[in-house]
């Protein structure tokens, strides 16, 4: 079972190429799937990567440029043909519902499941979604249209019981759940056994930040400080920095600068411009600022360990 994996389905930018697919990712958190963006080709790539359609319940859209959302109509139709019956929630800028409702009415009549839209304020850092496994927050980005990234924060797991100690103190089975949650144990004689003697701390929760598309924007640093993995767009090389500024995108060097200032543990870059047939220049420029930068690629699976 995947503990916390990021699956990269596509990491190209707006212009289609044979080298990269349009943007989409899937987070697999202990077999619960969360999709980020849904460009063209997303569902085909899910097939290639053997990702189960049935485990997907939430889709997070960063903004309404086609390379981030044109795959939605086909995916929703396919889910209907597969017999899905549980609710699917699409989170994103409020305009996402305006875009999708007419398509659903024409091409997806009679879906066997409900599609619910959750509008996201792209200008604020706020809780977007919460379930038993994680919390998802918006990250305001700087793009030509309303756009936000997403921060996925795993919830703290319960502590691990030290079986030898609970047996020694004859802790009743019915109390183990409370002890996992932090309770001390009081023996029949009135002795207080500290929780730290009965448990080991759980592995610290993981955090993943997704930031695409955006111009260089140091304002996001407080929101992504110290994350286990940052995905940051790197559409251009430094030689095309004027074009990056004009189109509100980032260079690989700028992405690395954000990662360095935020003290993130790992950086992966993507959203490559179609002008680069060879990505080594982006890797080199990022590595000069943040050594060990990962070049994102289709089919890549990154585990947050």
Beta bridge partners of 89: 58, 116
Q: What is the pLDDT along the chain (305 residues), one digit of tens a residue?
A: 679 999 999 999 988 899 999 999 999 999 999 999 999 999 999 999 999 999 999 999 999 999 999 999 999 999 999 999 999 999 999 999 999 999 999 988 889 999 999 999 999 999 999 999 999 999 999 999 999 999 999 998 888 898 998 988 888 989 888 988 889 999 998 899 989 998 888 888 999 999 999 999 999 999 999 999 999 999 999 999 999 999 999 999 999 999 999 999 999 999 999 999 999 999 999 999 999 999 999 999 999 97
Record the pTM: 0.91
pLDDT for position 158: 81
- Per DSSP, helices labelled H in 41-171 are 42-48, 66-69, 72-81, 95-107, 163-168
Handedness of CA 10, 285, 292, 60 (dihedral sign): negative
The single residue of 67, 131, 228, 240 carrying the catalytic annotation is: 67
Q: What does the pLDDT read at residue 1? A: 60
Which domains does the chain possess? 5-157+203-303 (3.60.15.10), 160-200 (no CATH)
> Could you give the count of Cα atoms lying within 13 Å of 246 in the half-sphere of its Cβ?
5
- E strand map for the chain: 5-10, 24-29, 32-38, 56-60, 88-92, 115-119, 127-130, 134-140, 148-154, 160-161, 185-186, 192-193, 199-200, 207-211, 229-233, 267-270, 294-295, 301-303
C-alpha to C-alpha distances, 53 to 81, 148, 271, nearest whole angstrom: 11, 25, 24
Please tell me the predicted confidence (pLDDT) of residue 108.
83
Does residue 213 have an active-site annotation?
Answer: no
> Which residue is listed with tokens 């109509």?
73
Confidence (pLDDT) at 87? 96
Q: Which residue has the tokens 């792209």?
A: 122
């Amino acid at each position: 079972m995947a503990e916390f994996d990021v699956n990269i389905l596509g990491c190209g930018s707006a212009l289609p190429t044979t080298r990269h697919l349009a943007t989409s990712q899937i987070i697999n958190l202990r077999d619960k799937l969360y999709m980020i963006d849904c460009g063209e080709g997303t569902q085909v790539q899910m097939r290639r990567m053997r990702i189960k359609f049935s485990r997907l319940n939430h889709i997070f859209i960063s903004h309404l440029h086609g390379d981030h959302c044109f795959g939605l109509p086909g995916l929703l139709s396919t889910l209907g043909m597969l017999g899905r019956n549980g609710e699917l929630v699409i989170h994103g800028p409020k305009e996402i519902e305006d875009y999708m409702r007419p398509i659903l009415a024409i091409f997806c009549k009679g879906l066997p499941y409900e599609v619910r839209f959750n509008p996201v304020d792209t200008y604020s850092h706020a809780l977007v979604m919460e379930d038993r496994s994680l919390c998802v927050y918006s990250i305001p980005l700087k793009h030509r249209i309303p756009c936000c990234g997403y921060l996925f924060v795993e919830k703290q797991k319960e502590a691990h019981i030290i079986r030898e100690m609970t047996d020694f103190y004859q802790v009743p089975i019915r109390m183990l759940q409370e002890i996992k949650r932090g309770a001390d144990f009081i023996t029949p004689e009135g002795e207080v056994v500290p929780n730290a003697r009965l448990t080991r701390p759980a592995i610290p929760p993981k955090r993943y930040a997704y930031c695409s598309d955006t111009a260089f924007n140091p304002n996001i640093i407080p929101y992504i400080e110290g994350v286990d993995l940052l995905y940051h767009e790197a559409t251009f090389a430094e030689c095309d920095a004027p074009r990056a500024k004009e189109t509100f995108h980032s260079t690989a060097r700028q992405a690395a600068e954000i990662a360095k200032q935020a003290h993130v543990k790992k950086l992966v870059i993507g959203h490559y411009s179609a002008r680069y047939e060879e990505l080594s220049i982006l890797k080199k420029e990022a590595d000069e600022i943040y050594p060990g930068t990962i070049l994102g690629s289709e089919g890549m699976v990154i585990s947050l360990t």
